[in-house]
Amino acid sequence: MRNITVIGTGYVGLVSGSCFAEVGNRVICCDVDERKINLLQSGVVPIYEPGLEEMVARNKEQGRLHFTTDVGAAIEASDIVYIAVGTPMSETGEADMRYVMSAAKKVGEHLNGYKIIVNKSTVPVGTGELVREVVQANKMAPWATFDVVSNPEFLREGSALSDCMNMDRAVVGSDSFAAAKEIAELHAPFNTRVFMTDLESAEMIKYAANTFLATKISFINAIANICERVGANVSDVAEGMGMDSRIGGKFLQAGIGYGGSCFPKDTYALAHIADKSGYEFELLKSVIRTNQKQRMLVVDKLREALGSLSGKRIAVLGLAFKPNTDDMREAPSLTIVPELIRAGASVRAYDPIASDAASRLLPSEVLYADSVEATVTGCDACVILTEWSEVMSMSLAQVRTLLARPIIIDGRNCFGLEEMEREGFIYHSIGRRPIGAVNDERQSVNF
C-alpha cells in the first residue's frame, strides 16, 4: 500500500484517485474548491461517470479514500503526490499553467521528506523541469528531496473507470530510474503495459496521441463531405479503410466533429508549441479548421430540408459532446444551438444527463424536455447531436407520428439508410445519400 495525494478533484484527479484507492492504496484527494470537497465528503460526486459514485462510496467506507481542502497536510502525509489540476486553453491557444505552478509551489512549501511528484495534467513539453524549479525554489525544508515524473492520462469520458482499471498502456517519464520504477510498479494492478521514457518524451506522447486521433476524425469527416458529392457511402468507406491493419477502424466514424476536454484543447496547444518552436504545423492547423467547419453541416442540412429556419421549431437530441457524460466542453451543441436561434428557429432540447449543465451555457430561449417523445412533438425537424442509447433506441414509427414534418438531420449517423427510407423519413446524415424529398404535406404546430 502506498500513500498517495492527488491535487485536483476534477475529472482526471477524481477518477485516478478513486482507482488508485480501489487497488489498495491510501489516497487523499484534495482541492481548494470547498464546495466540491463538501459534496464529495457527503457522498455526492460532482461529475457524471458511470460507476464512479459507487467506487467513491466503496473506498470511502473502507477507509482508503479521503477528501480534504487542506492541501498542505495532504502533501505532508503522502509519499507520492499527483498534480491533476486543470490546464484550460488560454486565449492564445496554449495551455494555461497557473494551476499547475500553484500546485508545485504548494508541494515545495510542504515538502517534508523524499517525495515523487507526478504530473498527471496534460502539460506542454518542458513542464516537468518547470515543476522541478518551482518546487526547489519554494522548499521550506532544505533536506527534503524529490523527483519529478510525467504520467499522462488517457481516459475516455464515459468509460474512464474501465480505461483506468484495464489500461491500454501507462506512460512514465523521468530522469530518475528509481522514481519511474516506483510509478511503474504502482500501475501493476491495472493489467497494463508500462512504457518508460524521459520527461519530455512522455509529455509529448500525450499531445501526439490525442492530436493524431483528432486528425483521424477530421480526415474521415473530410472524406464524408466528398462522399456526399460523389455518391459514395462514408460508412462503407470507413469500414473498408478500417480493415487495413495499418489504419484500423477506431476513430473513423464520420459525424459533426470532435469536442470534449482533450482533443480541442490539445490540438490548439500542440499547434502553439509547434509555432513557439519555429515549426509551421500546417497539417494540424488544417485538422482544427476542418473540425470547426464540420459542425455547421447540421445547420446547412436543415436549411436544405426546410428553407428558411425563421419561425421553425427544431428538436435537438443530445447536448453533451459524447454519450455517457455530462461534459459540455467544446460540445458541438454549443455552436449549433445558438446558430439555430440566431436564424430565428425555436429550439426544444433533450439530453438524459447534460441538460442542467447545458442550460448554464446555451441561450435562455432553449426549452428542455425530459424525453425524446416530448422533445420531438410538433417540431418541424429533429437534429441528432449526441448518440445516446435513448436516441439510438427510440421508436422511429412513434417519432415519425409526433413530428410535424418527418425530417431528421442526423449528425452522428445513428440509423441505416434503408430503415429510414422504410419508415418514411426525410433523412440527412453525414457522408451518405439523403433519403426522401422535402414536402409540405403537413403543417407544423406551435409548442
Give catalytic residue positions: 262
Binding residue per annotation — 177?
no
Binding residue per annotation — 206?
yes
End-to-end CA distance of the chain: 59
CB 202 within 8 A of CB 180: no
Cross-strand partners of 118: 82, 149
Binding residue per annotation — 252?
yes
Cα 193 to Cα 170: distance, rounded to the nearest angstrom: 6
Strand pairing class (193-197; 169-173): parallel
Binding residue per annotation — 375?
no
Cα 221 to Cα 240: distance, rounded to the nearest angstrom: 15
Binding residue per annotation — 255?
yes
Binding residue per annotation — 108?
no
Q: Hey, what's the cell of 233?
A: 457511402
Amino acid at 68: T
Binding residue per annotation — 265?
yes
Output 418-425 pairs: Cβ under 8 A, ≥24 positions apart: 420/396, 423/396, 423/397, 424/400, 425/396, 425/400
Binding residue per annotation — 139?
no
Give backbone dihedrals phi and psi of 150, rounded to 5 degrees, phi first.
Answer: -105, 125
Binding residue per annotation — 105?
no
Binding residue per annotation — 156?
yes
Binding residue per annotation — 322?
yes
Cross-strand partners of 169: 193
Binding residue per annotation — 373?
no
Binding residue per annotation — 412?
no
HSE, side-chain direction, 13 A CA sphere, residue 355: 16
List the alpha helices (DSSP H) in 307-387: 333-342, 355-359, 372-376
Detail the residues annotated as belonging to a binding site for NAD(+): 31, 36, 87, 122, 157, 265, 329
Detail the residues annotated as belonging to a binding site for substrate: 154-157, 206, 251-255, 259, 322
Detail the residues annotated as belonging to a binding site: 31, 36, 87, 122, 154-157, 206, 251-255, 259, 265, 322, 329
